[in-house]
Amino acid sequence: MPLPMISRRLLVEGAGAALVASMLPIAARAAGAAIRVGMIPDAGATQVSVDEKRPLREYLASKTGYDVNLVIPTNYNATVEALGNGSLDFAYLGGLTYVQAHARYGVIPLVQRSSDRRFHSLFITQSDSAVRTLADLRGKNFAFGDTNSTSGHLMPYYYMQKSGIDPERDVKYRFTGNHPATAKAVEAGIVDAGAIDESVFHAMVDGKQIDGSKVRVFYTTPPFVDYVWVARKDLDAQQRQALAQAFLALKDPRDKTLLDILRGKEFVRADDAEYDTLRGVARKLSML
Amino acid sequence: MHTLTIAWHTLLAFFPPDLSPSYLRYVWLPVAQTIGMASAGMVVALSLGIPLAIYVGTRAPGWQGIVGLLSALRAIPDLTLAILAVVIVGLGPAAGMAALAVFYTAMVGKVFAELFLAAPQAPLESLRATGAPRLAVALFGLIPLTLADLLTFGSYSFECAMRASVIVGAVGGGGIGTELVGAVNGLDYPRATTLIIILALLVASVDTLGWLIRKNPRIALVLFPVGVATMLLNPPQVFVVRHAFVTFAGMLPPLLNPKALAALPALLWETLEIAVGGTALALLLALPLALGAARNVVHTAITAAVRRVLDVARAVPEIVWALIFVVMAGIGPLAGALALGIHSAGVLGKLFAEAFENVDTAPVRALEATGAGRLPVVAFGIFPLAIGPIAVHTMFRLEWNVRAATVVGMIGAGGIGEALFNAQQHMHYQEMMAYIAATWLLVILADVVGERVRRRLGWNYVTT
């Protein structure tokens, strides 16, 4: 009797399943009813920072009708991979992480703050420093945020290059890992200057997390498109719509608490075509 | 001077720790995850490692191949495995457990196999002569013959797994490690201190548990329900197994562009510098501390205090020291060397103190009988007698630190680890695999050279 045909794919998957099952005695299983929402750790990732965002989680749950798990992975890459391997359904990504995730896993852009359409990076230094222009950065210690950050690395790096400063040769730079750390490093004088997300910088000065009289902005980049909320490729359209609507319905000042957590004023629909310029820059700097 | 002032102020920012009830309520889950991950990792390691070791120990067909495989696996640093596991298995404790399971299966398998191979052959031969099958030889010969060593090493590896569960957490593997990296990145230093204290307490409890297990091996069975429950509660987050394989296949073959290839020797050199610098610092710190901790050198009131200092240095893993030093001393190899130096000083200090206490008493008493003072007795008696074990321990530590130097690099301490982490962050996975391969070769090379040197100098010592 001829054996039934077993497709190669089935064999590979079967062997794969057996391997995973032997490595971890639990077979992979589908997620339950909750939707899982991830946020890049642009301001650190702890149980506490998740809890500070509890009003957001509760709002999303009530608007969408699903339970919501809010997760802040420890790094940008983990957030992208989680959208690829299905451990997250939605995520809040930076511009660069978005174009990476779109290229690798076809994630779908949903909504963004109106300010994300015209976002800026700020170059900051100590108030009493001699640094006044990008050219003054020559020979200085400089801080970028996370290596995968759009406003903390990619765009500032690009505009330094454009103004004739080669970050690889002309400055000594390091990555602080996130925006608040950059602000603190500049305030404390650990570095001579740094590049930071404008919304984080203003929120920190307003919230007195850094002393606004000690730090000065000396250069603002031209506008670029940045943060966006996305869904993983194969998520069902109804869930996608539900989450997008929840953000689009936010109104200032009625939803001020939530908008403050999100550091924005209003949400608009996002469009992949807006990211073409950013994609070009990322390719040029071989970060895509 | 300016830098020192900043470092001092940064240090002050870590105090006082946040011990508020609300925060302690938050951290119980990560703490439970860490305990669970370490237990689950050990459960898998023991379930797979012991049969493998028995297979090797009874010299069954192809046993050399298994030894080779286990040695090769063991040379991949745990953090590297965790990075792979997070990409492949998804975020959270499942990834951490997978990494620990692989690393400790290799470690338990290899060391147990070596213990079995070194067991006295005569009793085993007589067992075999009765016609006993392999399994019976293992159960009634190998295991009873080596039980004491198995238990010592088993509890030691559980202690290591507890520390390692923090390391794998640092890249998204869940538990205290994830929380700690998040707290440091979020500039939340008082809470980082709380987590470090909890970690030190955990390692100390594991130490006590290990001591209890050596007295009554059945206590080790508590690991099983804890480990299995954690596995059940934290299934892998991936629900498309195929994705894992596609992702992994996309990482092959390892590839470096010409520019990165040209920079590789410098990166490897920097990693070696971190390892050597860290070990040298550890040696400098450990010698005086060990004298202060040796009960045959100074009064026990002093040794008790010095031993607590060594315990803290040792309980905090290299990567956590590195997180602190990166904040204080800035990103770069200095932070890495300091981190390895402090942790290794804790380890070496304890081992050196034991070496001082274990010296042959006869020559020391002879020296004392001449009426020599305390200092000459230590300088010309105890110290020279302990120099052999001190050299062996330092040598082992250097080998270990080559591996650890790649790990601390991944959180910003420079060298090849940093390049590896950046490649992973930018999703240049073929480049990442090339760095993993280079790291792996470096670690194997360090192990082989270390073993050769020890053999040439005739330092035969029980290895762990």
ipTM of the complex: 0.73
The sign of the torsion formed by the CA atoms of B112, B115, B117, B120 equals negative
Say if CB B346 and CB B310 are below 8 A apart: yes
Does the pLDDT value for residue A6 go beyond 50?
no
Confidence of residue B345 (pLDDT cuts 50, 70, 90): very high
* Burial class of residue B50, CB neighbours in 10 A (0-12, 13-18, 19+): buried
Compare CB distances from B241 to A20, A147, A180 and report the shortest one's residue: A20
Higher pLDDT, A40 or B109: B109
Q: What is the pLDDT of residue A43?
A: 63
Say if CB B416 and CB B406 are below 8 A apart: yes
Report the distance separating Cα B233 and Cα B36, nearest Å.
Answer: 10
Confidence of residue B463 (pLDDT cuts 50, 70, 90): very low
Report the distance separating Cα A182 and Cα A141, nearest Å.
Answer: 12
Name the residue with tokens 């993993």.
Answer: B436
Q: What is the pLDDT of residue A205?
A: 94
**Which of A207-216, A218-227, B324-333, B430-439 shows the lowest mean pLDDT across its residues?**
B324-333
Chain A, 40 to 79: residues with Cβ < 8 Å from chain B are: 41, 43-49, 51, 71-78
Among A36, A47, A233, most B C-beta atoms within 10 A, so best to mutate, is: A47
The CATH topology of domain A121-220 is: D-Maltodextrin-Binding Protein; domain 2 (3.40.190)
| Interface check A109 vs B, CB under 8 A | no
Q: What is the pLDDT of residue B340?
A: 96
- The mean per-residue pLDDT over the stretch B50-66 comes to 90
Of all residues in chain A, the one with the smallest CA distance to B31 is A47
DSSP single-letter state for residue A224: B
Q: Residues with Cβ < 8 Å from B294, sequence gap 6 or more?
A: B303, B352, B353, B356, B357, B382
Report the distance separating Cα A255 and Cα A62, nearest Å.
Answer: 14
Higher pLDDT, A115 or B13: A115
Question: Does the beta-carbon distance from B172 to A73 stay under 8 Å?
Answer: yes
Name the residue with tokens 């991979």.
Answer: A81
Report the distance separating Cα B161 and Cα B236, nearest Å.
Answer: 20
Domain ranges of chain A: 35-117+226-284, 121-220
Question: Does the beta-carbon distance from A44 to B185 stay under 8 Å?
Answer: yes
The string of pLDDT tens digits covering residues B199-249 is 888 888 887 888 888 788 888 888 888 888 888 887 765 555 677 777 888
Q: Could you tell me how far CA B236 lies from the centroid of its own chain?
A: 25
Among B29, B91, B421, most A C-beta atoms within 10 A, so best to mutate, is: B91
Q: What is the pLDDT of residue B232?
A: 83
Smallest CA–CA separation between A74 and chain B, in Å? 5
Confidence of residue A24 (pLDDT cuts 50, 70, 90): very low
Q: What is the pLDDT of residue A46?
A: 65
Sheet containing A68-71, strands listed edge to edge, beginning at the edge strand earlier in sequence? A68-71, A35-39, A90-93, A228-231, A108-113, A267-269
Cα B406 to Cα B167, B270, B426: the distances in Å are: 12, 10, 18
The sign of the torsion formed by the CA atoms of B455, B456, B461, B464 equals negative
- Tokens (6 digits) for A253: 């000042």
Confidence of residue A138 (pLDDT cuts 50, 70, 90): very high
pTM of this structure: 0.80
Compare CB distances from B427 to A13, A100, A146 and report the shortest one's residue: A100
- Tokens (6 digits) for A196: 């930071």
Q: What is the pLDDT of residue B135?
A: 84
Smallest CA–CA separation between B90 and chain A, in Å? 6
Kindly report each contact of residues B147-150 with a partner whose C-beta sits within 8 Å and lies 24 or more positions away, as own/partner. Answer: B147/B217, B148/B214, B149/B115, B149/B462, B150/B112, B150/B115
- Measured at the alpha carbon of residue B454, what is the angle toward residues B450 and B457, in degrees to the nearest 5? 140
Higher pLDDT, A49 or A32: A49
Does the pLDDT value for residue A102 go beyond 60?
yes
Confidence of residue A4 (pLDDT cuts 50, 70, 90): very low
- The mean per-residue pLDDT over the stretch A241-251 comes to 95
Q: What is the pLDDT of residue A237?
A: 93
Of all residues in chain A, the one with the smallest CA distance to B331 is A174
Domain ranges of chain B: 2-246, 251-456
Contacts of B412 in chain A (CB under 8 A): 174-175, 177
The string of pLDDT tens digits covering residues B109-133 is 988 888 888 888 888 888 888 888 8
Query: Which CATH number describes the domain made up of B251-456?
Result: 1.10.3720.10
Confidence of residue A217 (pLDDT cuts 50, 70, 90): very high
Does the pLDDT value for residue A16 go beyond 70?
no
Write down the architecture of domain A35-117+226-284 according to CATH: 3-Layer(aba) Sandwich (3.40)
Amino acid at site A158: Y
Of all residues in chain B, the one with the smallest CA distance to A288 is B426
Say if CB B396 and CB B463 are below 8 A apart: yes
Given the candidates 3.40.50.970, 3.30.70.1150, 1.10.10.10, 1.10.3720.10, the CATH classification of the domain at B2-246 is 1.10.3720.10
- Tokens (6 digits) for B223: 């690991």
Report the distance separating Cα B105 and Cα B50, nearest Å.
Answer: 9
Q: What is the pLDDT of residue A198?
A: 94
- Tokens (6 digits) for B262: 């040209």
* Residue of A184, A221, A220 whose CA lies nearest to A204: A184
- The mean per-residue pLDDT over the stretch B379-395 comes to 86
The string of pLDDT tens digits covering residues B297-313 is 888 899 989 998 998 89
Compare CB distances from B6 to A49, A178, A190 and report the shortest one's residue: A190
Does the pLDDT value for residue B13 go beyond 80?
no
Question: Does the beta-carbon distance from A74 to B172 stay under 8 Å?
Answer: yes
Of all residues in chain A, the one with the smallest CA distance to B186 is A44
Say if CB B352 and CB B385 are below 8 A apart: no
Of all residues in chain A, the one with the smallest CA distance to B3 is A190
Compare CB distances from A87 to B90, B191, B425 and report the shortest one's residue: B90
Contacts of A181 in chain B (CB under 8 A): 185, 187
Question: Does the beta-carbon distance from A84 to B247 stay under 8 Å?
Answer: yes
* Burial class of residue B334, CB neighbours in 10 A (0-12, 13-18, 19+): middle
